[in-house]
Amino acid sequence: LIILCDQSETALHNIYLELEETHTNTNFHAFVGDVRDEKRMDYLFETYKPHYVYHAAAYKHVPLMEDNPAEAIKTNVMGTKTIADMAVKHGVHKFVMISTDKAVNPTNVMGASKRIAEIYVQSLNNSLSTNNFVFSNGLSYINDLNVKPITKFITTRFGNVLGSNGSVIPRFKQQIEKGGPVTVTHPEITRYFMTIPEACRLVLEAGCMGKGGEIFIFDMGKSVKIVELAKKMIRLAGLEPNQDIKIQYSGLRPGEKLFEELLNDNENTMPTHHEKIMIGRVREYVFSEIETQIYTLLQHAKRNDDRQVVVAMKTLVKEYKSKNSIFEELDDVQTD
């Protein structure tokens, strides 16, 4: 049985219809629920007792999250924490989190929120495998268990997926159909891309090979200049760039990088048996310290105090330096 969980009724309806047409022999169920709703998620896990969880729920649009930091934290951090904690409570075998290359040396709220989610998941995994670790808050029940929780937490980190919701391909297609212009933020901006089937296969394979605590980095090939992608799409439509369809540069948006990275300066990788999947050697955190800091962060988010949210994020993720953003002034304002 495959459980499809989404808070978007339309998205859930669309994928349900698609699966009905293409996978007639597959047993699946659509479940409307929000990862931010702890009671609803507890009901989901209690009812269906999943063995494997693939956690992809997230806000992902950089400019929108730059304007709404508290909401980014409620979904990307609190939502991840809720699902991860439920996975432990209900005996999930493996929890696979979908992260992003924007979590590396983040320059925006969205990327930093995903890095914090990575940190929570990885440090929770490591604490579960540590003897005599004392849990507090919502996980304190673990201290009284005779058997250790079995859940293994795995993270996958990769770039943009061609044709996914909100990606440049559908937007460029719409702009070309309207006669242009096609808008690109900067002539030098580049991004990593992979196709939907490739991303799905690699996520599933990383989930299978993961033993717990890994951050898997996918080989995305060479980065692509967005302007070249725009030109190629215009030509595929039988038109000429800057003759039939104008390319217009709109300027980098708040928090946006010219190029993305898959590792920061202090990280490196180890190979796996799969040529396209590597294990990132990243800084590890002590769960009890992280849990306290994340609790503080979530309190700021619940109060919708965007300034304190960003200060707490920068305290947690030291490499988070805002770019082209109103939060640049907070880069040196960190709490203990």
Q: With contact defined as beta carbons under 8 Å apart, do 5 and 56 qualify?
A: no
113 located within any domain: yes
Q: Give the pLDDT confidence of 301-320 residue by residue, as tens digits.
A: 999 999 999 999 999 999 99
Cα 6–Cα 105–Cα 284 angle in degrees, nearest 5 = 80
For the stretch 304-307, contacts whose Cβ atoms lie closer than 8 Å and that sit 24 or more positions apart, written own/partner, are: 304/70, 305/70, 306/68, 306/69, 306/70
Provide the residue range defining the domain that includes 23: 1-32
pLDDT at 292 over 80: yes
For residue 87, what are its two tokens?
């996975």
Q: Over the chain, what is the mean pLDDT?
A: 92
Question: How many whole angstroms separate alpha carbon 87 and alpha carbon 10?
Answer: 26
241 located within any domain: no
Residues 25 and 48 in one domain: no
Q: In sequence order, which ranges of the chain are alpha helices (DSSP H)?
A: 9-22, 38-48, 62-67, 69-73, 80-89, 109-128, 168-177, 196-209, 226-236, 287-302, 306-316
Residues 28 and 43 in one domain: no
Give the pLDDT band (50/70/90) at residue 43.
Answer: very high
156 located within any domain: yes
pLDDT at 335 over 70: no
Higher pLDDT, 63 or 136: 63
Residues 6+ apart with CB under 8 A from 292: none
The kind and range of the H/E element at 102 are: none
Residues 107 and 53 in one domain: yes
Q: Give the pLDDT confidence of 62-74 residue by residue, as tens digits.
A: 999 999 999 999 9
319 located within any domain: yes
Predicted local confidence at residue 30, as pLDDT = 94
Residues 85 and 56 in one domain: yes
Q: How many residues does the chain have?
A: 336
258 located within any domain: no
170 located within any domain: no
Quick one: DSSP state of residue 305?
-
Residues 19 and 148 in one domain: no
Measured from the Cβ of residue 162, the count of other Cβ atoms closer than 10 Å reads 16
Q: Give the number of domains in the chain.
A: 2
289 located within any domain: yes
Q: Where are the beta strands (DSSP E) in 56-195?
A: 94-100, 152-158, 160-161, 182-184, 190-191, 193-194
- Residue numbers annotated as active site: 102
Quick one: DSSP state of residue 149?
-
HSE of 290 in the Cβ direction (CA atoms, 13 Å)? 21
Residues 132 and 58 in one domain: yes
Question: How many whole angstroms separate alpha carbon 76 and alpha carbon 59?
Answer: 7
Specify the residue for token string 């795995």.
Answer: 154
Residues 52 and 147 in one domain: yes
**Peptide bond before 181: cis, by omega within 30 degrees of 0?**
yes
